[in-house]
Amino acid sequence: MQLVEQYMRLCAGRPNEAIGHPLDISLAEVASILFCTLRNATLTLKKMQSQGWVVWQPGRGRGNRSVLTCLLAPTDLIMSVAKELVQKGEIRAARNMIDELGANLPVLHEKFSRWMNSQFGHRVMREKGSKGRIDTLRLFYNRPFAGLDPIHILLRSESHMVKQLFDSLVQFDPVTKRIEPAIAFYWEASEEGKQWTFYLRKGVLFHHGRPLVADDVRFSLLRLMEHSYKHRWLAASIESIDVKDDYVLTISLHMPDELFLQALSKEYMAIVPRDYVVQMGEQFAQMPVGTGPFRVVRNDDSMLVLEAFTPYFGGRPFLDRIEIWCVPGMEAEVQADETLLTVMAMDDYRDTSVPAWSDVGRLEDCFQYVSLNGAKNGPLSHNEFRSLIVAIICGQALRQELQGTREHAVIWGETDSFQEKREVPDSQELVRIFKESGYHQGEALSLYTYPDSDHIEDALWIQKTCQEYGIAIEIRYASPEELALPSLLQEADLVVDSANVDERAELSLREFLYAGALSISHHLDPQGKEEIEYLMKGMSCVQTTQERQVYVDSIMHTLAACSTFVPLYSNRVEMLAHPRLSGVSLDAYGWIDFRRIFVRE
């Protein structure tokens, strides 16, 4: 970096001299341009010459001038060094150099971005002296994956990675909507449904080489119950876990729970190796070890690298390597939130207008929403005031004005009443509601959200729209970890967040209402919370999907009556896939399963 800066000073010091043109110059003049001693100037020129940047011919004898030839334009040199850094895996260093040295070179950012785009997609490397090949899928994302501990993950991007690295006792098939074997190949329940016995596969290996045993399962579930306020809702029905031997264990429940197996299939309930977790401590989240189809070989602020785990009990994936480069400046180009990739390119990808390319897209099951804190003392504890804000910040109006990838949110049951535009009371009625709720015009309500582009747009729209009716909103931005803190959620008046929803609809509703890291569990008023609790217990006891849907509809009607949240929209995710890529499909979170991808010749 310092050597590059010194080269730029040399070029800037003689702006009228063309690149590649020999220049008569003394060593003292070089030292003056570089602000260094004669000795350091000599050393610097030797370094530049060894890199092939300059030709330096020192003058011999008194009065003989030296000759300096600068061989590279500053932009070309910076690009060359940045490419070398990227190819060595030092992506963050390359980005920092482009940002710092490119301030006065606007074309540099465009050239670097264009080159970076050409680096992504599928790559095939042939091993020397072998007919084998290494298939690498190279992708980019806008932030590092610092935390990949299943019991602490928050973002859908993290959830996706955890699914590639870990397995749970059982798995859920989103197509058939059935629970299937995973680490456990067989299970049985007692007649009353309170005791479940699981039989584990033999020979399941963790990435660090040790076989999985039942004690790892017990450790993993107890670890979530004791140390994860975010996801312990999943294990709320568990009373005890009894290990019979290395491959058999029994889980006892407080009461029968028809969603118990679905809960066990969630990625937060993934099985981790007891010895490695204890050994690594907090570092486990950075370099996790599971039993999944891929293992982590590198994870830092430049890239996350996964390699296929050959002994995987579910079958080795086709792809050998996944490289996810952390490129913070590229998310605006793809306009993706919580989605790793919108264009998946092959080596020979150049023209997206070719009809053979497949357009893969779907509407996310997840949805953006605003929650209103009815549990906090103040105007929002007044149901009529909350109903007023619900009418003001209608999702339909927001979608029409902001547009983009925002579409009508599809949420549980018959929920159109949540998203239809409601009539806002006239000014006289507004005055009455303000007075009875204790709201004083100009008093700012706090709205918390993430500083991501779509969240910012949503928050600003809500602020502007509420201001039109005399309700002041103060926007406060927080990181995902901060916004997951119960203390912050309880303090916030409003929160703009995303709900995680997948094909396990009833379980997703349970997560939405009970997860400690989401606002709804903290924002329901006492009466609404009591009614919801009663209905949720009833839903857990009935056995058929049709019976559970009756409860789901009742829960949604109760939530509507509470005026506690407003669904805003779901995002449409689009992706282009080369015709030789197979196994490419988007899940409910808008992601692709790496283990299913393969390449046809």
Residue 331 predicted with pLDDT over 60? no
CATH class in words for 140-357+578-599: alpha beta
| Cα–Cα–Cα angle for 530, 535, 537, rounded to 5 degrees | 95
CA-closest candidate to residue 171, choices 266, 271, 268: 266
* pLDDT tier, 14 (very low <50, low <70, confident <90, very high otherwise): low
Can you read off the two tokens belonging to residue 429? Answer: 């009625």
Q: What is the pLDDT of residue 117?
A: 76
Q: What is the pLDDT of residue 88?
A: 82
% of the chain exceeding 90 in pLDDT: 52
Q: Which residue has the higher pLDDT, 76 or 210?
A: 210
Q: What is the 3-state secondary structure (H, E, C) of 84-130?
A: HHHHCCCHHHHHHHHHHHCCCCHHHHHHHHHHHHCCCEEEEEECCCC
* pLDDT tier, 358 (very low <50, low <70, confident <90, very high otherwise): low
Residue 356 predicted with pLDDT over 80? no
Can you read off the two tokens belonging to residue 46? Answer: 């030797």
128-146 per-position pLDDT tens digit: 655 578 888 888 888 889 8
Least confidently predicted of 190-204, 415-429, 435-449, 544-558: 415-429
Strand pairing category for 54-57 and 598-599: unpaired
Highest mean pLDDT among 56-70, 248-262, 320-334: 248-262
Q: Which whole number is the average pLDDT over 179-201?
A: 96
**CA dist list (Å): 367 to 337, 429, 458, 498:** 12, 32, 13, 6
Residue 418 predicted with pLDDT over 70? no
492-503 per-position pLDDT tens digit: 999 999 998 888
Least confidently predicted of 330-334, 366-370, 526-530, 554-558: 330-334
545-575 per-position pLDDT tens digit: 889 999 998 999 899 889 999 999 988 877 7
What architecture does CATH give domain 367-572?
Roll (3.10)
Can you read off the two tokens belonging to residue 329? Answer: 């400046």
* pLDDT tier, 82 (very low <50, low <70, confident <90, very high otherwise): confident
- In the chain, where the domains are located: 2-72, 140-357+578-599, 367-572
* pLDDT tier, 127 (very low <50, low <70, confident <90, very high otherwise): low
* pLDDT tier, 421 (very low <50, low <70, confident <90, very high otherwise): low
Q: Which whole number is the average pLDDT over 226-251?
A: 96
**CATH number listed for the domain at residues 2-72:** 1.10.10.10
Least confidently predicted of 119-133, 145-159, 182-196, 245-259: 119-133
Q: What is the pLDDT of residue 66?
A: 86
* pLDDT tier, 413 (very low <50, low <70, confident <90, very high otherwise): low
493-538 per-position pLDDT tens digit: 999 999 988 889 999 999 999 999 999 999 999 999 999 999 999 9
| Cα–Cα–Cα angle for 304, 305, 310, rounded to 5 degrees | 145
Q: Do 479 and 468 meet the contact criterion of CB atoms below 8 Å apart?
A: no
**Spatial CB neighbours of 177, under 8 Å, sequence gap ≥ 6:** 503
H or E element at residue 316: none
145-159 per-position pLDDT tens digit: 989 999 999 988 899
298-316 per-position pLDDT tens digit: 999 889 999 999 999 999 9
Q: What is the pLDDT of residue 438?
A: 93
DSSP code string of 35-54: TS-HHHHHHHHHHHHHTTSE
Spatial separation of the C-alpha atoms in residues 406 and 458, rounded to whole Å: 11
* pLDDT tier, 33 (very low <50, low <70, confident <90, very high otherwise): confident
Residue 338 predicted with pLDDT over 60? no
Spatial separation of the C-alpha atoms in residues 272 and 217, rounded to whole Å: 7
Number of Cβ atoms within 10 Å of the Cβ of 485: 15
* pLDDT tier, 296 (very low <50, low <70, confident <90, very high otherwise): very high
Can you read off the two tokens belonging to residue 148? Answer: 């990949």
